[in-house]
Amino acid sequence: MVGIFSSGCHCQIGFVVKIDFEPLGRRVEVNDSETILDAAQRAGLTVAAICGGRGTCGTCKIRLVSGELTPPTSVETQKLPSSALVSGFRLACQSRPAGDIRVEVPPESLTALQRILVEGIDSKFEFDPSIRFVSLDIEPPDNGDFEADDLRILKALNDLGFSSGITISPPIFPVLSSQLRSLEWKIKLAVTTTEPGSVIACLPVNAHGLGIACDMGSTKLAMYLVDLETGGILARTGRMNPQISYGEDVVNRIAYCNTHQDGRQILQHRLIETLNEMIGDLCGKTGSRPEWIVDCVMVGNTAMHHFFAGFPVRQLGEAPFIPAVSQATYLSAGNLHLNVAPGAEVYLPPNIAGFVGSDHVAMLLAANSWIGEKTIVSMDIGTNTEISLLSGGNMYSCSCASGPAFEGAHIEAGMRAAAGAIERVQIRNSQIIWQTIENTRPVGICGSGILDTVAELKLAGFLDTRGIFVRDHPMSNRLKEKNRMVLIPAESTGIGKDIEITRRDINQIQLAKAAIQAGVKILLKKAGCQPQDIDDFFIAGAFGTYLDVDHSIEIGLLPDIPLERYHQMGNAAGVGACQLLFSKKMRKTAGFIANNSHYVELTIDPDFTGDFLDAMFLHRGY
Amino acid sequence: MVGIFSSGCHCQIGFVVKIDFEPLGRRVEVNDSETILDAAQRAGLTVAAICGGRGTCGTCKIRLVSGELTPPTSVETQKLPSSALVSGFRLACQSRPAGDIRVEVPPESLTALQRILVEGIDSKFEFDPSIRFVSLDIEPPDNGDFEADDLRILKALNDLGFSSGITISPPIFPVLSSQLRSLEWKIKLAVTTTEPGSVIACLPVNAHGLGIACDMGSTKLAMYLVDLETGGILARTGRMNPQISYGEDVVNRIAYCNTHQDGRQILQHRLIETLNEMIGDLCGKTGSRPEWIVDCVMVGNTAMHHFFAGFPVRQLGEAPFIPAVSQATYLSAGNLHLNVAPGAEVYLPPNIAGFVGSDHVAMLLAANSWIGEKTIVSMDIGTNTEISLLSGGNMYSCSCASGPAFEGAHIEAGMRAAAGAIERVQIRNSQIIWQTIENTRPVGICGSGILDTVAELKLAGFLDTRGIFVRDHPMSNRLKEKNRMVLIPAESTGIGKDIEITRRDINQIQLAKAAIQAGVKILLKKAGCQPQDIDDFFIAGAFGTYLDVDHSIEIGLLPDIPLERYHQMGNAAGVGACQLLFSKKMRKTAGFIANNSHYVELTIDPDFTGDFLDAMFLHRGY
Ligand code: FES
Ligand code: FES
């Protein structure tokens, strides 16, 4: 900690301090008048800060590991439970270093909006939600005034200057008349902001108008509760997708629907049941009521979109894999039995193609990677990896069948990223160093761990470019048989036996990365670009956020461009979904993206097979 | 039959013939080149002719009793089953007299659009339905064309010149993709005609686009199936309202809802179940399929409107009797579980007040009695009698609690208008002459019969103005006790005992007619008119169509104005509902009527009690 500014009138007083960000291991020197959020951004870290640092969203949580911060502000004592404060949790936008410090960025705070780093959030979009709120104190009917309930409300709105074409949405009528009377005609109405407007909910005047944004992954569901009146994110929650019992991936779930009568209804019902539990959680956490939720944005891959909406999936499961619905769609929450205000609308952004869904559109929104003169790749790695390339103002999208290896599936010792999963692997002098999630004894290996393993084994020279273990190598003593090595011996694991890596596991990673490499190459060819032309490379999703970029380049998963061009974004689809709640303009943009994206079907591209086979080898970069 | 025109070049050849219309007993002399429909209109008869005499609707059925008509045209052999032709049924618009004839106008053909008589149907409204139909032959997707199903349809419509803002209604997505494939992409789309338009159904190209119009009375349901492409009425059907089991009138049904959890849902469910049976009937009769029905218009009193839509009724059942919804409303047929195309919309015209519903609005439309400089009364007599007065361009409406006496209820020997009901009564020289429905032995007396009875007893001097039987009258031998007379002795009835009329029965009629008279008088006072100013007096509904106008004047139910100013209209609400299917402009007009009608609450009018008590006496006219 070194003072660099002299004290004096009109001069800024400050010290340069060092901040170490864990577990990412980045160090940055900053002026101590800057917030930790500023410092993190300067360090290129994708810390979430949905509200732009105004202290309203609570997404920028960090934890002090050593050193001192300025004392908690009143905003922090309000936003954070005292138990969290005691454990060292703080809001990055509210706290400043009081000396050299070490802070930990918890994974949940990495659900970042990358453009914060690039352009600053405030220039990104204005707060312009689809719903506005109007408080009214209406004269009740009496024996000289027989006007109907609906007309009474419409006239009060007309008096306030609302368009004469304004209507009341029929789903609220079954509850409206008793609400008006129990609230004694003092109400807060939720009104759509598209002309001429429609009243979609009647709330008590002291209620907050709320919205939910949800990213429906094939495996995981993430939901955000937001305050539509202030723009704050109030709470987040996550659950496993209950449809997993009907098929691990969407292809199997479509097959289930094709072979079971009411299969679609069952999948939809199970999903919505779980979404309703999540809504219950969020409301419980925040002391809110589900009927105050008046707007919903749901994003997901095209199959999840169809499962949620009850749209047919048969044609989505067989070539040429056609979505029933690609355009943005508004559904009634009441029809879907979503436990929110019965008149709430559910907005589903558009899909680009059968395997490039609205979650990818939301990611492009969050990364702001859909417009401009830069060359930008946006990628969401999963069982299907969606890739978009923006180049020369044109947009190309594709989907690669990368398989579930990066989610830990189809790997003998593979597991999801959960406690006990090996998430980081290094090899130094033939010694294997590893780290598990929550630092427990290892019980398996997750996507980022297996990726690290393959890259480090290759760097150590123990794997050849075909993915075969090399004989007569210092590490050969780890081979149990020709195609099977011990990664962690039984005495160090939490399962009483060795954790092993097989040649088949390595081949799975080769197949996955080859599909992705071929996809990127074909998009680049379509646009007439080289990998080196890529200015920014956004990677979203859980695996994408935790993968080691250099290792990914090492095995040829990612192209060999400077590391600083890579941006790991966290749950970008969820962030995009929140933006779609906050901004009507974003909804227009989503339509623009879907309609202007050139979908490239890899399987019919004449270069695809060749590119794919070439990419199977473990070469650095491309 | 006398020739009046000499034959010769450029001269019209014709004979004057006499036509007797039964059972209304009107005779008219016409030229034999005129159709029976022309003749009926000349006779002032309200024969239905929804299509304006083009031979497409089939509503103008009549039956030849004696004499000869021109031979059946090909239109008639197509429209009428051969069994009907054999029994003498013909279409009035297609047949001409071949000499003096006697024809019978069956009650169902009296569901008339009165304005046909006044102005001719063609000037009334143009055929401008809310739905249009577009046949498309779409390129299916293949391995070089991955466009989603929705976008493929929207682009085909854009190519045909449809607005770029056109959308597809979400309720059809669950079935659309499989329909497209099973119909091999040759489809007929139903598209709303309001800009920018919405696709609401996908039909086979050879299907007919259909609509239903329904009048939901508290007691009876009437439904019409219409061809939305040609404007023809294909079939009609009627059922009892199944809600009767939960309360004979709407007041009792509202009480049921207030005291039973899910009462509203039960009433709605039972109603829609029956409506679906009626749809099944209509489709069976015409070889149509329910999913070809893409537009629905439902009219009813305000309570039936609310029961159908699932709107709350508690506040409708207690003073000040406020409707939850008065404005025109579009609901989704799918949400209502109505067995029609899932994307079909259900249009509910506006209500005027808690006891003046959309059925009354439909009646005003059918009678065209809502605009102009004439002074017009429109009345629908039932348990509640709705009355509108148009005067000086202003419209006033009210509802009178006239009770169910005119429907045969609360009358000791009363019954609905069904086989065996005494429907006509005359007294000549103290002898009682009567006629029953279907000419069977009498089993009871219906509304028009009890009205005739009271009027004739009064004319015969056997009732005084207070409604008390007069002693020492030639008919006194019919008195069984002071306040009870034998109308038909047991030996002539079909029930093995006397059919009797009591003073209580007569009092019920006095109460009912007093309420109606007071209502008419108060509306006239509001408008500053006298009864003699009334130019036209429309009476709708089953009882209104069959009542004897002169008898009604005799007891003071109707004002004493010339008989030719009265027009008995049949199911005017049903006719209005059909017009709302055929004409978008009519829907606008319905909104205009509801918003410009001054509702008059009789019970708080200072004159009401006085007028009502005065009107209790049995005086001729007012
Ligand atoms: S950025 Fe810190 S609370 Fe929102
Ligand atoms: S008027 Fe005769 S068929 Fe329509």
Q: In one letter, which amino acid is A21?
A: F
Among chain A residues, CA nearest to B170:
A331
CA–CA gap between residue B407 and residue A80 (Å, rounded): 70
Residues of chain B with confidence (pLDDT) below 50: 1-12, 111-123
pLDDT tens, A188-233?
A: 999 999 889 999 999 999 999 999 999 999 888 999 999 998 887 8
Angle, alpha carbons B243-B245-B247 (nearest 5°):
75
Contacts of A193 (CB under 8 A, 6+ apart): A128, A129, A130, A131, A132, A584
Ligand 2 center to B94 CA (angstroms): 8
- The residue among A324, A317, A237, A249 whose CA lies nearest residue A284 is A237
- The residue among B557, B560, B559 whose CA lies nearest residue B616 is B557
Closest CB to B319 among A143, A310, A325: A143
Whether residues B151 and A327 touch (CB distance < 8 A) is answered with yes
Residue B234 in contact with ligand 2 by CB distance below 6 A: no
The CATH 3.30.420.480 domain(s) of chain A lie at 210-348
Q: What is the distance in angstroms between the Cα of B503 and the nearest Cα belonging to chain A?
A: 35
Q: Exposure pattern of A88-108 as b/e (b: 16+ CB <10 Å)?
A: ebbbbbbbbbeebbebbbeee
**Is residue A411 pLDDT above 80, yes or no?**
yes
Long-range contact pairs involving A602-610 (C-beta distance under 8 Å, separation at least 24): A602/A398, A602/A399, A602/A400, A602/A518, A602/A519, A602/A522, A604/B143, A604/B144, A605/A522, A607/A521, A607/A522, A607/A525, A608/A518, A608/A522
For tokens 């009609």, what's the residue? B236
- Any idea what DSSP says for residue B71? P
CA–CA gap between residue A616 and residue A510 (Å, rounded): 5
Residue A574 in contact with ligand 1 by CB distance below 6 A: no
pLDDT tens, A238-256?
A: 888 999 888 888 989 999 9
Q: What is the pLDDT of residue A117?
A: 26
Closest CB to A312 among B142, B168, B174: B174
Three-state SS for B565-584 is HEEECCCHHHHHHHHHHHEH
Whether residues A177 and B315 touch (CB distance < 8 A) is answered with yes
**Is residue A124 pLDDT above 80, yes or no?**
no
CA–CA gap between residue A75 and residue A53 (Å, rounded): 11
Q: Which of A36, A59, A108 to mutate to test the pocket of ligand 1 (most atoms within 8 A of CB)?
A: A59
Whether residues A176 and B312 touch (CB distance < 8 A) is answered with yes
Angle, alpha carbons A257-A262-A268 (nearest 5°):
75
CATH architecture of A2-110: Roll (3.10)
Residue B112 in contact with ligand 2 by CB distance below 6 A: no
DSSP-derived 3-state class of residue A410? coil
**What is the side-by-side order of every strand in the sheet holding B499-502?**
B479-481, B484-488, B499-502
| CA of B60, closest atom in ligand 2 | 2
Whether residues A319 and B351 touch (CB distance < 8 A) is answered with no
Ligand 1 center to A585 CA (angstroms): 23
Q: Would you tell me how many other CB atoms lie within 10 Å of the CB of residue A155?
A: 14
Q: Would you tell me how many other CB atoms lie within 10 Å of the CB of residue B86?
A: 9
Closest CB to A310 among B174, B264, B599: B174
Q: Which two tokens stand for residue A305?
A: 């979109």
- Tell me which residue has its CA closest to atom 4 in ligand 2: B57
CA–CA gap between residue A422 and residue A446 (Å, rounded): 6
Q: Is the bond leading into B196 cis (omega within 30 degrees of zero)? A: yes
Q: In one letter, which amino acid is A582?
A: F
Chain A interface disruption, residue of B173, B331, B604, most A CBs within 10 A: B173
CA–CA gap between residue B176 and residue B77 (Å, rounded): 38
> Residue B397: its chain A contacts at CB < 8 A?
none
CA–CA gap between residue A331 and residue B168 (Å, rounded): 12
Whether residues A143 and B173 touch (CB distance < 8 A) is answered with no
Contacts of A477 (CB under 8 A, 6+ apart): none
Ligand 2 center to B60 CA (angstroms): 5
Q: What is the distance in angstroms between the Cα of A541 and the nearest Cα belonging to chain B?
A: 26
Long-range contact pairs involving B386-390 (C-beta distance under 8 Å, separation at least 24): B386/B301, B386/B355, B386/B356, B386/B357, B386/B359, B386/B360, B387/B516, B387/B519, B387/B520, B387/B523, B388/B356, B388/B360, B388/B364, B388/B523, B388/B597, B389/B520, B389/B523, B389/B524, B389/B526, B389/B527, B389/B529
Decide the pairing of beta strands B345-348 and B329-332: antiparallel
| CA of B51, closest atom in ligand 2 | 4
Tell me the residue ranges of DSSP E strands in A531-589: 536-540, 566-568
Angle, alpha carbons B130-B136-B140 (nearest 5°):
135
Angle, alpha carbons A450-A455-A458 (nearest 5°):
125
DSSP-derived 3-state class of residue B506? helix
Q: Is B277 exposed, middle or buried (0-12, 13-18, 19+ CB in 10 A)?
A: middle
> Residue A351: its chain B contacts at CB < 8 A?
148
Contacts of A471 (CB under 8 A, 6+ apart): none
What is the ipTM, given to two decimal places? 0.75
Whether residues A319 and B143 touch (CB distance < 8 A) is answered with yes
CA–CA gap between residue A52 and residue A113 (Å, rounded): 10
Residue A60 in contact with ligand 1 by CB distance below 6 A: yes
| CA of A49, closest atom in ligand 1 | 1
CA–CA gap between residue A560 and residue A558 (Å, rounded): 7
CA–CA gap between residue A511 and residue A450 (Å, rounded): 13
Tell me the residue ranges of DSSP E strands in B151-267: 167-168, 186-192, 198-204, 210-216, 220-227, 233-240
Q: What is the pLDDT of residue A118?
A: 28
> Residue A168: its chain B contacts at CB < 8 A?
325, 327
The class level of CATH for B17-110 reads alpha beta
> Residue A323: its chain B contacts at CB < 8 A?
148-150
Among chain A residues, CA nearest to B307:
A174
pLDDT tens, A548-595?
A: 888 999 999 999 998 888 888 878 898 899 999 989 999 999 999 999
CA–CA gap between residue B309 and residue B298 (Å, rounded): 10
Among chain B residues, CA nearest to A176:
B324
Residue B55 in contact with ligand 2 by CB distance below 6 A: yes
DSSP-derived 3-state class of residue A384? strand
Q: What is the distance in angstroms between the Cα of A358 and the nearest Cα belonging to chain B?
A: 14
Across the A/B interface, how many CB contacts are shorter than 8 Å?
143
Three-state SS for A107-167 is HHHHCCCCHHHHHCHHHCCCCECCEEEEEEECCCCECCECCCHHHHHHHHHHHCCCCCCCE
Q: What is the distance in angstroms between the Cα of B553 and the nearest Cα belonging to chain A?
A: 32
Contacts of B182 (CB under 8 A, 6+ apart): none
Q: What is the pLDDT of residue B29?
A: 86
For tokens 């009917």, what's the residue? A141
Classified by CATH at the fold level, domain A369-404+514-615 comes out as: Nucleotidyltransferase; domain 5 (3.30.420)
Q: What is the distance in angstroms between the Cα of A281 and the nearest Cα belonging to chain B?
A: 28
Query: What CATH code is assigned to A210-348?
Result: 3.30.420.480
Q: Which two tokens stand for residue A171?
A: 């789903």
CA distances (Å), B94 to each of A129, B28, B91, B584, in order? 62, 18, 5, 29
Chain A interface disruption, residue of B146, B321, B348, most A CBs within 10 A: B146
CA–CA gap between residue A246 and residue A253 (Å, rounded): 6
> Residue B146: its chain A contacts at CB < 8 A?
320-322, 353-354, 599, 601
Residue A53 in contact with ligand 1 by CB distance below 6 A: yes
Q: In one letter, which amino acid is B255?
A: A
- Of the ligands numbered here, which is closest to the C-alpha atom of B232? 2
Contacts of B112 (CB under 8 A, 6+ apart): B45, B46, B47, B48, B49, B569, B570, B572, B575
Closest CB to A173 among B143, B144, B311: B311
pLDDT tens, A66-121?
A: 999 999 998 898 888 787 888 888 999 999 999 999 998 876 566 433 322 222 23
CA–CA gap between residue B69 and residue B64 (Å, rounded): 8
Residue A231 in contact with ligand 1 by CB distance below 6 A: no
CA–CA gap between residue B99 and residue B14 (Å, rounded): 11
- Alpha helix (H) residue ranges in B127-262: 149-159, 173-182, 250-259
Q: Which of A73, A77, A93 to mutate to test the pocket of ligand 1 (most atoms within 8 A of CB)?
A: A93
Ligand 2 center to B92 CA (angstroms): 7
CATH architecture of A131-204: Roll (3.10)
Compute the half-sphere exposure of residue A222: CA atoms within 13 Å on the CB side of its CA: 19
Ligand 1 center to A79 CA (angstroms): 10
Residue B35 in contact with ligand 2 by CB distance below 6 A: no
Q: What is the distance in angstroms between the Cα of B588 and the nearest Cα belonging to chain A?
A: 13
- The residue among B408, B466, B443, B419 whose CA lies nearest residue B615 is B466
Chain B interface disruption, residue of A149, A265, A588, A602, most B CBs within 10 A: A149
Contacts of A262 (CB under 8 A, 6+ apart): none
pLDDT tens, A473-511?
A: 999 999 999 999 999 999 999 999 999 999 999 999 999
Q: Rounded to the nearest 5°, which phi and psi values hold at A279?
A: -60, -40
- Any idea what DSSP says for residue A22? E
Q: What is the distance in angstroms between the Cα of A309 and the nearest Cα belonging to chain B?
A: 9
Whether residues B312 and A178 touch (CB distance < 8 A) is answered with yes
- Of the ligands numbered here, which is closest to the C-alpha atom of B75? 2
